[in-house]
């Protein structure tokens, strides 16, 4: 008797579970993201920021009661920043039928290595930190929600010469596709707008000591120092410039946009101008909500990497909803078609629309560090 009762409860429980999953499955469509970025090694921090931003977006989206039956799931693979791992991971996601889209990528070279494989298996990619112009049109399945370094650099060069009125510019760039591409465009645009480029020097990502370069730059008496790189190095550049008594306006690329810039740079970073697609200081409710949710979850403020990955999550959600509405299901090809159709998906980095070559349309805002905070720079490029 007792045994029978136990069986009955067990059966009832099973039935309940079954009916629950069945009811959910009626409309439910799980969209699985294959996330890949460098999560170990020297430059794991950037990948980690992206992972956090994306996971936050997924959590919020899945908590929505009405999301057209779409839920997002994620599987993560660490590419160590190595192109060879990028190839393996691309193949892994391709072979895994449940993966509908690849997101992430913290280094352009990893995405470039993966591009052919991902193209062959028609797996859409929505990258959010890779800015190499080589990636434009690399595959009809490849998209990114970050502006290419060429576009960014050009805007910044014009801004430096025309808006800030810089006449004598010294340039430092990170020795990689991001730093070189952005700085090439910056230099060309600044020259075209009438500024003189006094010097241009490269440094390797991870460099700690800039005093030598800054001492040489000091002797050139520039009125603007361009830094095409990431926040970790920019913070050191600002500090060491101050240490050797070089007092110059610093203008930086969007790799500087991180609260860590201020934390690492301290008082020295005050006054630095940079651009980005994400303005953490803006009073827009969705930005404020994002900053707060991120802080609550991870105990730190979000940076550009996190914000772009967060927006990519929502952009994917829009595309998935559109694909589900059209085809009744979400698959790779349908999702890819939907990406081409969605327009102006709102986000904390502004609206997302993709061009035919996979690049994002958009522009940047100029920010300034003031009293340990990012504020909108008083002068913008119109």
Give the interface with other proteins as residue ranges (CB under 8 A).
39-42, 44-45, 47-48, 75-78, 80-84, 87-88, 91-92, 94-96, 107-110, 112-113, 115-116, 132, 134, 175-177, 180, 201-204, 206-209, 211-213, 215-216, 218-219, 232, 235-236, 239-240, 243-245, 260, 263-264, 266, 299
CB of 254 to other proteins, least distance (A): 18
**Least distance in Å: CB of 323 to other proteins?**
25
**Minimum distance, C-beta of residue 197 to other proteins, in the bound complex (Å):** 16
Q: Which is nearer to other proteins, 158 or 357 (CB)?
A: 357
The DSSP code sequence of 57-78 is HHHHHHH-S-STTEEEEEEEEE
**Shortest distance, position 11 Cβ to other proteins, whole Å:** 31
Output phi, psi for 198, to 5 deg: -75, -40
Judged by DSSP in three states, 340 sits in: helix
Nearest by Cα to 273 from 254, 253, 251: 251
Closer of 215 and 353 to other proteins (Cβ): 215
* 228: β partners: 173
Compute the least distance from the CB of residue 297 to other proteins, in Å.
12
Q: Are strands 365-370 and 373-376 parallel, antiparallel or unpaired?
A: antiparallel
- Alpha carbons 86 and 107: distance in angstroms, whole number: 10
Smallest separation, CB 5 to other proteins (Å): 36
CB of 179 to other proteins, least distance (A): 8
* Three-class DSSP category at 252: strand
- Judged by beta carbon, residue 81 or residue 358, the one nearer other proteins is 81
Question: Would you say 121 or 381 has its CB closer to other proteins?
Answer: 121
Helix (H, G, I), strand (E, B) or coil at 365: strand
197 versus 322: smaller Cβ distance to other proteins: 197
The residue (of 258 and 349) whose beta carbon lies closer to other proteins is 258
Backbone angles phi, psi at 301, to 5 degrees: -80, 150
d(CA 132, CA 135): 6
d(CA 5, CA 111): 58
Contact assessment for residue 211 and residue 239, using Cβ atoms and an 8 Å cutoff? no
Nearer to other proteins, 135 or 365 (CB): 135
Q: Which is nearer to other proteins, 118 or 365 (CB)?
A: 118
CA distances from 326 to 48, 62, 322, 335, 338 (A): 34, 21, 6, 10, 9
Smallest gap from Cβ 81 to other proteins, in A, equals 6
Reduced to 3 states (helix: H, G, I; strand: E, B; else coil), residue 104 is strand
């Amino acid at each position: 008797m007792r045994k029978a009762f136990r069986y009955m409860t067990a059966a009832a429980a099973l039935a309940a579970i079954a009916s629950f999953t069945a009811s959910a499955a009626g409309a439910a469509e799980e969209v699985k993201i294959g996330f890949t970025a460098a999560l170990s090694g020297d430059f794991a921090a950037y990948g980690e920021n992206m992972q956090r931003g994306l996971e936050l977006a997924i959590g919020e989206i899945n908590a929505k009661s009405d999301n057209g039956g779409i839920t997002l799931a994620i599987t993560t693979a660490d590419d160590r920043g190595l192109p060879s791992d990028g190839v393996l991971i691309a193949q892994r996601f391709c072979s895994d039928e449940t993966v509908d889209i690849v997101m992430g990528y913290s280094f352009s070279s990893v995405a470039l290595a993966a591009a052919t494989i991902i193209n062959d298996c028609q797996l859409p990619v929505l990258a959010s930190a890779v800015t190499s112009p080589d990636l434009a049109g690399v595959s009809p399945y490849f998209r990114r929600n970050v502006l290419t370094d060429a576009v960014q650099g050009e805007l910044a060069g014009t801004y430096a010469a025309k808006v800030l009125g810089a006449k004598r510019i010294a340039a430092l760039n990170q020795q990689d596709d991001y730093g070189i591409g952005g700085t090439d465009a910056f230099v060309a645009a600044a020259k075209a707008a009438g500024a003189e480029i006094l010097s241009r020097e490269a440094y390797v990502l991870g460099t700690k000591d800039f005093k030598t370069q800054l001492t040489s730059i000091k002797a050139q008496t520039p009125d603007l120092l361009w830094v095409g790189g990431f926040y970790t190095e920019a913070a050191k550049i600002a500090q060491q410039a101050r240490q050797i008594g070089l007092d110059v306006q610093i203008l930086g690329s969007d790799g500087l946009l991180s609260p860590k810039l201020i934390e690492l740079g301290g008082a020295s970073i005050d006054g630095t101008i940079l651009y980005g697609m994400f303005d953490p200081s803006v009073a827009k409710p969705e930005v404020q909500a994002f900053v707060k949710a991120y802080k609550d979850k991870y105990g730190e403020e979000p940076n550009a990497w996190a914000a772009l990955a967060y927006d990519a999550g929502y952009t994917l959600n829009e595309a998935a909803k559109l694909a589900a509405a059209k085809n009744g299901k979400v698959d790779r090809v349908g999702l890819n078609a939907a990406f081409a159709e969605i327009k102006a998906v709102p986000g904390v980095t502004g609206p997302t629309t993709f061009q035919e070559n996979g690049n994002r349309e958009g522009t940047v805002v100029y920010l300034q560090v003031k009293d340990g905070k990012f504020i909108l720079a008083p002068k913008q490029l119109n």
